């Protein structure tokens, strides 16, 4: 395998791709990046390419702000045109977004092998668009790179051992990114000073999942809870632009601290200094664990079940009372062991496997 086309579109994928792109280059593999445009503004896209020194995309599709079907369909059409022209040896996709599924489908339909990084995750909730995306992407992938033993078990339970694919447990590439960039982030970011914060004096929270933002009752429950928690500890919320629009429609205004979306380095430093994390993000659940911070997940299920089993994470859903109770129960908890996701060499393992594929 000599040439790989990588499909990226959303903030978490930029973070995951950074160590892998570096490892591919070191291994002598040629990579071309297609940016679908799913996350497109400076704060959600451009800053990550600049800070993390990810190779610039060869193609930018500018597909965004559409419904799931329209977005996925338009990405599929545009990615297919590029793949037919460039004929890479394989297509690499990350995670569970519309960009992930569109890239995988485009490749599979013209018989280009699909490499799926972060395979085998399951929340077991088919109402989540992400669950649909990850299951379908796994099924049409030729090489499935899993971050945990749980992910490998999920695939085998679904019969993947009978499919013409290769399953590899390599660890989590997001852990690679944290280890590689943390010292640089500490030197370059002034976010704590800029926001007037002190170490361990605040909690970080994020809200962006459609299952929360698109349902006023759930969003109201989360806002009420964060308002209540804010009476005890400063709750700082880097707010996704779409969530900000939804908040403006609620009867109860947010009383916690709202800031603009953060770049990767700023967020690393925030996590390094925070006392706790509250989030509906899959990636942030893991990053909280990497920094040994307890996480309250503002969802009813999580694909990172091993975090719940390890006592590092609790599912609180979107009911205000449950979220506040979870905060009071865990506000002084600390995480002793942060080694569920490998040793920080997942990208190197991926590159080495692809060199021989």
Query: Is 42's pLDDT higher than 90?
Result: no
Catalytic residue, chosen from 208, 240, 246, 330, is: 208
Q: Contact 10/39 with Cβ under 8 angstroms?
A: yes
Q: Contact 237/202 with Cβ under 8 angstroms?
A: no
Helices and strands: H and E segment counts in the chain = 16, 13
Q: What is the mean pLDDT of residues 148-169?
A: 97
High-pLDDT (> 90) share of the chain, %:
82
- CA proximity to 222, closest of 324, 315, 307: 324
Q: What is the pLDDT of residues 192-229, one digit of tens each?
A: 999 999 999 999 999 998 889 999 999 999 999 999 99
Q: What is the pLDDT of residues 252-275, one digit of tens each?
A: 899 999 999 998 999 999 999 999
Model confidence at 45, pLDDT cuts 50, 70, 90, reads: low
Order of strands, edge to edge, in the sheet holding 313-315? Answer: 257-259, 234-238, 202-206, 276-279, 295-297, 313-315
Q: What is the pLDDT of residues 9-18, one digit of tens each?
A: 988 899 999 9
Q: What is the pLDDT of residues 79-136, one digit of tens each?
A: 999 999 999 999 999 999 999 999 999 999 999 999 999 999 999 999 889 999 999 9
| The pLDDT of residue 233 | 97
| The pLDDT of residue 93 | 98
Model confidence at 336, pLDDT cuts 50, 70, 90, reads: confident
Question: In the annotation, is 208 catalytic?
Answer: yes
| The pLDDT of residue 50 | 82
Q: What is the mean pLDDT of residues 24-31?
A: 97
Q: Can you list the domains of the chain with their CATH numbers?
A: 3-172+342-355 (3.40.50.2000), 180-330 (3.40.50.2000)
Q: What is the mean pLDDT of residues 272-299?
A: 96
| The pLDDT of residue 66 | 78
| Predicted structure pTM score | 0.92
Query: Is 47's pLDDT higher than 80?
Result: no
| The pLDDT of residue 62 | 85
| Residue 130 CA, distance from chain mean position | 11
């Amino acid at each position: 395998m000599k040439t790989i086309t990588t499909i990226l579109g959303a903030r978490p994928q930029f973070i995951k791709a950074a160590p892998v792109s570096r490892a591919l280059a070191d291994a002598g593999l040629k990579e071309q990046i297609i940016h679908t445009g799913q996350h497109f503004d400076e704060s959600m896209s451009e800053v990550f390419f600049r800070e993390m020194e990810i190779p610039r995309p060869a193609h930018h599709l500018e597909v965004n702000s559409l419904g799931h079907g329209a977005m996925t369909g338009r990405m599929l059409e545009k990615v297919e045109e590029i793949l037919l022209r460039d004929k890479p040896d394989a297509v690499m996709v990350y995670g569970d977004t519309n960009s992930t599924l569109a890239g995988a489908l485009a490749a599979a339909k013209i018989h280009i092998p699909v490499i799926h990084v972060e395979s085998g995750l399951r929340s077991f909730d088919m109402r989540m668009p992400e669950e649909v995306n990850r299951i379908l992407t796994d099924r049409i992938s030729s090489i499935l790179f899993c971050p945990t033993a749980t992910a490998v078990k999920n695939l085998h339970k679904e019969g993947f051992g009978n499919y013409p694919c290769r399953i590899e447990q390599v660890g989590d590439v997001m852990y690679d990114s944290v280890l590689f960039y943390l010292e640089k982030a500490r030197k370059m970011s002034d976010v704590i000073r800029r926001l007037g914060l002190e170490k361990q004096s605040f909690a970080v929270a994020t809200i962006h999942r459609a299952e929360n933002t698109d349902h006023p009752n759930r969003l109201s429950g989360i806002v009420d809870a964060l308002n209540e928690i804010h009476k005890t500890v400063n709750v700082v919320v880097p707010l996704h632009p779409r969530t900000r629009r939804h908040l403006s429609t609620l009867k109860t205004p947010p009383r916690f601290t709202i800031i603009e979306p953060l770049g990767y380095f700023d967020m690393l430093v925030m996590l390094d200094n925070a006392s706790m994390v509250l989030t509906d993000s899959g990636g942030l659940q893991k990053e909280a664990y990497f920094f040994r911070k307890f996480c309250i997940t503002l969802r009813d299920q999580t694909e990172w079940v091993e975090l719940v089993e390890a006592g590092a994470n609790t599912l609180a859903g979107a009911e205000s009372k449950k979220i506040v109770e979870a905060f009071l129960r865990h506000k002084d908890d600390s995480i002793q062991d942060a080694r569920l996701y490998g040793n920080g060499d997942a990208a190197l393992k991926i590159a080495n496997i692809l060199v021989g594929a």
